[in-house]
Amino acid sequence: MYYSLLKYLHVLTINLTFGLFMVRGYWMIINSALLSRRWVRVVPHINDTILLAAALAMTYHQGAQIFTHGWLIAKIIALVIYVVLGSIALRPGRPKIIRIMAWLFALAVFAYIVLVAVSKDPWPF
């Protein structure tokens, strides 16, 4: 039951991450002042911290050795790429086309992470 609750929390925070990233990307594209609101900068970090904590707790609960499972390594590498692309997309100062492209690539990496998680295969295609 403990694992089920962790997995539910993990999936919930994944959905919140996706929704918040979509909304912030849209606001970036339309130059919305909402993107600079304090809660918009803080809430995603809180949510992502909970997401990561749930992932680590699930891994620990199952006794999984992170670096012995190719699919977990693939998710971790993809997560780092997603964070870098997301930072490029949502931080002002770069040309708009670069930010939009980074946002689109980040969405593709996000989809890859989900596919890897569901298939437990680093090459889910």
Tens digit of pLDDT for each residue in 32-70? 999 999 999 999 999 999 999 998 898 888 776 767 778
pLDDT value of residue 69? 77
Q: What angle do CA 14, 23, 120 make, to 5 degrees?
A: 25
* Number of structural domains found in the chain: 1
pLDDT value of residue 95? 97
User: Do the beta carbons of residue 35 and residue 24 sit within 8 Å?
Assistant: yes
70 found inside a domain: yes
Cα separation, 101 vs 114, in Å, equals 20
pLDDT value of residue 60? 86
34 found inside a domain: yes
pLDDT value of residue 59? 85
pLDDT value of residue 35? 93
Range of the domain at 13: 2-119
CA torsion sign for 120, 80, 59, 23 is: negative
Q: Is the pLDDT of residue 78 over 70?
A: yes
124 found inside a domain: no
125 found inside a domain: no
Q: What is the pLDDT of residues 83-108, one digit of tens each?
A: 999 999 999 999 999 999 999 999 99
25 found inside a domain: yes
41 found inside a domain: yes
Q: Is the pLDDT of residue 1 over 80?
A: no
- What is the mean pLDDT of the segment spanning 6-32? 96
6 found inside a domain: yes
pLDDT value of residue 64? 67
